[in-house]
Amino acid sequence: MRIQKLLNVIIIVALTLVCMTPLGVHAYGVSAECYDDTTATIHANGVTVPGVTFYGGTSTFPERAYTAYDYSTGGFVVNSLWNAHSDGLYWEEIGFGRGWHGQDINHFYWAYNHPVNGYFEMKINKNPEGVGTSHTYSIYPLHLEGYQHFWYVRVDSFNTYVGMPDLYTSDYLCTGGEMTSSQSTFSSTTSSSLQYYTSRNQGGATNWPNDNNKTFCVSKTPLNWSWVSYPTSGSAWK
Amino acid sequence: MKFEKERTGAMRKKYSLILILITVVCIITLAAVFISTGLDVRATDVKPGSSAIIDRDDAIEIAEQVANWNNAGQDKAQSPALDGVTELTVAQYTDEVSELEITSSEPLLSGDTTDSAVWVVSFTGSFSPRRCPVGTEPPVYSIIEISLDSRDGSVISVRMHD
């Protein structure tokens, strides 16, 4: 009699699970909403120093345990280094994150935008080494005589480059976080260093004048960032 | 004894009825879900990173999802239109600047190599990067190209341009 009861309970549970499965799977493929929680903040360093022209920069930060709540709809959490130009049309970025186009994986990536060539992003062929492992990220221009300008985008010994025919300086440098769902977890996005270069090919590395954490928040559509606390040295861009 | 048997029989009937009811509810629920979301359920058959070899139709299916995630149009009527599908035998990116075609107007890339066939699926519509530096507004482009590893459907790269 007891066995019969137990069997019945097992069958009921099994049938209930079967019923629930398609409801859960259905969440896959639903288009994502961008992060729209202005009460949350994410740490960041850098941006601009008035009157200073950069030749890219470098930052060091560790792999951290992030969760990307909306990974199945293309969402992500990343900790990145950005190098950009004041018109907002040119930028390069490289970083580490969780969630890559539907895959719930830790990964390194890089991306750039160019007003003519467009936008490009790519997962780097480099395996994460585990939470706590620090990596040094760099973005800097390389000029070969007779050729156009290239921007190197580097994490540790891995490097790639992108042609930016008409630019080899920048006036925006930032390291921090980016996420697409307020339900993702983001323990920290601080970096242990941020330096900008004062000449090409990684020359004249200079510490960021105020390397303390700053905070910013993000709203959606279009994806917009705004500073909650402004750098005390330098100025927030835009 | 007789009472015990009757009680057991009644319990069995009761449990049987409950089971039948639950089964019917489950069947109706399953049918409703599959009917109402037929296409979406089909889309779950192929996910990026799965172990199956990805054929042309699978590649289009995955790429369409990626394109939708980057859709800049808030109106779902602006869903992307399939623009083209290419299969590359091998994607090879050189590590030497000197080996690149410097005068090319295409993006110059390096540093990654894959020995797998790569599907490149492009769509037209309105697309915008979900990544951008703090303080900037993402640009909008009319074409998106998604490169997929044919071994598992994982996304290798995404490019947007006009």
Domain ranges of chain A: 11-233
What's the pLDDT score for residue A145?
64
Identify the residue among A108, A122, A218, A221 best suited for mutation to test binding to B, counting B beta carbons within 10 A and taking the highest: A122
Out of A11, A18, A160, the one facing B112 most closely (by C-beta) is A160
**Closest Cβ–Cβ partner in B108, B155, B157 for A162:** B108
Q: Which residues of chain A lie closer than 8 angstroms to B23, CB-CB?
A: 15
ipTM of this complex = 0.74
Long-range contacts of B2-10 (CB under 8 A, 24+ apart): B8/A1
Record: contact B111-A125, CB cut-off 8 A: yes
pLDDT one-digit tens code per residue, A7-35: 666 665 555 544 444 333 222 222 222 33
Query: What's the confidence (pLDDT) of residue A165?
Result: 64
- Is there a contact between A88 and B136 if contact means CB atoms under 8 Å apart? yes
Q: Where are the beta strands (DSSP E) in chain B?
A: 81-88, 91-92, 113-114, 118-127, 141-149, 155-161
pLDDT attached to residue B130: 85
Residue B135: its pLDDT value, please? 66
Instruction: Say how many CB pairs under 8 Å bridge A and B.
Output: 207
Q: What is the pLDDT of residue B65?
A: 93
Position of tokens 């190098």?
Answer: A83
Flag if B131 and A89 touch (Cβ within 8 Å). no
DSSP B74: S
Three-state DSSP at B43 gives helix
pLDDT tier at B158 (50, 70, 90 boundaries)? very high
Mutate to test the interface with B, among A12, A13, A26, A119 (most CBs of B within 10 A): A119
Q: Around Cβ A158, how many Cβ atoms within 10 Å?
A: 16
CB contact under 8 A, B33 and A22: yes
CA distance A79 to chain B (A): 11
Cα-Cα-Cα-Cα dihedral sign, residues B46, B49, B54, B57: positive
Give 10-residue mean pLDDT values along chain A (238 residues). Answer: 64 53 28 33 61 85 90 90 82 93 95 88 90 93 70 83 73 81 74 82 78 51 50 42
In this complex, which of B40, B69, B108 lies closest to A163 when CB atoms are compared? B108
Chain A: residue whose CA lies nearest to B162: A118
Q: Is the pLDDT of residue B43 over 50?
A: no
**Percent of chain B surpassing pLDDT 90:** 20
Tens digit of each residue's pLDDT (9 = 90 or more) over A40-55 = 445 566 666 666 788 8
> Is the pLDDT assigned to residue B151 strictly greater than 60?
yes
Q: Look at A119 and B19 and tell me if their CB atoms are within 8 Å.
A: no
Q: Which of A30-39, A188-197, B105-114, B133-142 has the lowest mean pLDDT?
A: A30-39
Q: Which residues in chain A belong to E strands, given as ranges? A: 42-47, 57-62, 77-84, 91-100, 103-114, 118-123, 134-143, 149-155, 158-163, 172-179, 193-196, 206-207, 214-219, 224-227
Q: 3-state class of A206 per DSSP?
A: strand
Which residue is closest to B133 within chain A, CA to CA?
A82
Q: Which of A36, A65, A78 is nearest to A182 (CA)?
A: A36
CATH second-level architecture of A11-233?
Sandwich (2.60)
Judged against a pLDDT cut of 80, whether residue B74 lies above it is answered with no
Would the CB atoms of A93 and B133 count as touching at under 8 Å? yes
Q: Determine, for residues A91 and B112 on separate chains, whether the beta-carbon distance falls below 8 Å.
A: no
